[in-house]
Amino acid sequence: MLCFAPALFRRLSVAIAATFVAAMAAMSPARAASAGTNTVPSTDSFAGVLTKHLTNNLVRYAALKADSRGLDEFLDSAAAVSRKQFDAWPQSDQIAFLINVYNAATLKLVTDNYPVKSIKKIGGWFSTPWKQEVVRLFGKTITLDEVEHGMLRAGYTEPRIHFALVCAAKGCPPLRTEPFTGAKLDEQLTDQGRRFLAQAEKNRFENGILYLSPIFQWFSGDFTASKLTVAEFVGPFLSADQRKALGKTDPKIRFTEYDWSLNDASAK
């Protein structure tokens, strides 16, 4: 009997390993994240939401409210990530994860209160939507402000996050039809900047005046932290013709009006 022990042991080991792999595969994203892996949770469910419910930079909130399973699945998987797991990721993965969480939690906040004309209508006199505890993260429930200001802005020197965070207003940059990922973060943030600066009702350079979204006024310190002026920062994101014209002048800056109406595809 002893002479067969090694072979028997190998067969048992293979069987145990196969059982473990099958069990992990069967786990929900949230349970898999809590099982101790340092892998960034899948964004597939969030990608499905963005692909299905975005049209012309607007959100089909009524349809999303009727079918929020993909959104809930992504937020559940994000909530299952521990701070220890998060801290072990590369910085690009951390930033991408927090942007996705912010945008997904914002969509959830709006759908939970839909129909509504503006995100600013959610809450009350003493609780703006950004100060409501609606984001489940690292074993706590925190606010959107904490994600944006306390984590992203305070933790990373990356002003392009302002091109990616979408607060459910038409004045915001457009939502992407794909989640952010660490592997493509630099490319995605640069593309977001170009898309945002190409929206002429928000940003444009004409007649020697640089018209910019109030975002560049509210967070001017973020854009000038690298010793660039705001105009120098936005220059690379403008069209080739506008960059050429901008380079020949010291432009005056005026800020456009911010549109707080909901980025709702069904709004009339």
Alpha helices by DSSP H, the chain: 5-26, 29-33, 44-53, 61-66, 69-79, 83-87, 91-113, 144-145, 154-155, 185-197, 215-218, 220-223, 230-234, 240-246
Domain boundaries, the chain: 40-199
pTM reported for the whole predicted model: 0.86
The Cα 142–Cα 22 span in angstroms is: 35
* DSSP-based three-state secondary structure for 38: coil
Tokens standing for 131?
A: 């100060």
Distances (CA, A) of 68 to 45, 56, 72, 93: 10, 20, 6, 25
Residue 72, classified by CB atoms within 10 Å of its CB into exposed (0-12), middle (13-18) or buried (19+), is middle
pLDDT digits (tens), the chain, 268 positions: 444 444 444 554 444 444 444 444 444 444 444 444 689 999 999 999 999 999 999 999 999 999 999 999 999 999 999 999 999 999 999 999 999 999 999 999 999 999 999 999 998 777 899 999 999 999 999 999 999 999 999 999 999 999 999 999 999 999 999 999 999 999 999 999 999 999 999 999 999 999 999 999 999 999 999 999 999 999 999 999 999 888 878 899 999 999 999 999 987 5
In eight-state DSSP terms, residue 177 is S
Q: Are 158 and 222 in contact (CB under 8 A)?
A: no
